[in-house]
Chain A
Amino acid sequence: MDMKRLAIGTIVGGITLFAVGYVIFDVATASFYAENLIDVDSAYRDTPDHLLQALGNLALGALVTLGILSRPGTPTVTSGLLTGALIGFLVWLGADLTLVSLTNVWNSIIVFIDPLFEGLHHGIAGAVIAAVLARVPNSAMRSAE
Chain B
Amino acid sequence: MDMKRLAIGTLVGVVTMHIVGYLMFDLATVSFYNANDAAAATFNREVNLQWSIGLGNLALAALLALCLTNRAGPSTIAGGLLTGAVVGFLVWFGVDFTFYGYQSRWSLTLIFVDPLLGAIQMGIGGAVLAAVLARVTGGASMRPAE
Contacts and interface: CB of A to CB of B under 8 A. Distances in A.
Interface stretch (B59-67, B73-81, B128-136): B59-67
Contact of A43 (B43, B55, B57, B62): B43
A53 B59 contact: no
Given A52-B97, A57-B94, A70-B71, A103 B63 contact: no
Most A CB contacts (10 A, CB to CB) among B48, B55, B63, B101 go to: B101
A19 interface: no
A60 B90 CA distance: 6
Given A91-B60, A98-B56, A102-B44, A70 B70 contact: yes
Interface size on B, as a range, is 35 or more
Interface residues of A, number: 44
B39 to A, nearest CB: 6
A113 interface: no
Interface in B88-124: 89-105, 111, 115
B104 A45 contact: yes
A93 B59 contact: yes
A124 interface: no
B8 interface: no
B30 to A, nearest CB: 11
B86 interface: yes
Secondary structure at the A interface, as helix, strand, loop or mixed, is: helix
Given A53-B97, A97-B52, A90 B44 contact: no
A44 B102 contact: yes
Interface in A107-145: 111, 115
A44 B56 contact: no
Of all A-B residue pairs in the complex, the 3 with the closest CB atoms, nearest first, are A56-B97, A97-B56, A53-B101
18 contacts: A45-B101, A53-B98, A56-B97, A57-B94, A59-B89, A59-B91, A63-B87, A70-B67, A89-B59, A90-B59, A90-B60, A91-B95, A93-B59, A98-B53, A102-B44, A102-B45, A105-B103, A111-B52
